Amino acid sequence: MRKGILLGTMVLVMLLVVACGGSSKPAPVMDEPVPAGADGAQTVNLNFNTTDIAPAKVTVKAGQKVLFVVKNTDPKEDHNVVSQDLGIKEILVVPGQTARRLWTPTAKPGSYNVGCTIHPDIRMTIVVE
């Protein structure tokens, strides 16, 4: 009898683990709020569609905080903004999403090629002054 209860409990625990341990990611926030600390930041709007990112070029100032507002108007595909040279970690946007992220350019002045790693043809330029 005891073994039966123990076995039943083990089966129940295993079922719970299987049910809850799936690979489901948390749902993205579709319209991210402005992050704390955005006061005084330069707002840079970037818009993805199916084939490109607009604008093709933005200018920022070294050491001055930037608030990226990245929109994905592509109805089907995810896009991201990544630049190792500029220290921009992946800003991923799913279809219909608007992401808002702070970033402070610390790279030396120059022209940097930035783009989507999911679609290597989608590129733009960030100029650091």
Q: What's the CA gap between 47 and 73, in Å, rounded?
A: 7
DSSP class of residue 4 equals: H
SS (H, E, C) 32-71: CCCCCCCCCCEEEEEEECCCCEECCEEEECCCCCEEEEEE
Q: Is 116 in the site for Cu ion (CB under 5 A)?
A: yes
Applying CB under 5 A, what is the total number of residues that bind Cu ion? 5
Scanning 20-28, 35-43, 99-107, 118-126 for contacts with Cu ion by CB under 5 A, the matching segment is 118-126
Q: How far is the CB of 115 from Cu ion (least distance, A)?
A: 8
Query: Which residues make beta-bridge pairs with 46?
Result: 70
Residue 45 CA from chain centroid, whole number: 14
Alpha helices in 21-121 (DSSP H): none
By CB under 5 A, what part of segment 50-109 binds Cu ion?
79
Among 12, 14, 29, 118, binds Cu ion (CB under 5 A): 118
- Least distance to Cu ion from the beta carbon of 72, Å? 8
Tell whether residue 14 is a contact of Cu ion (CB under 5 A).
no
Nearest approach, Cβ of 14 to Cu ion (angstroms)?
Answer: 40
Residue ranges binding Cu ion (CB under 5 A): 79, 116, 118-119, 122
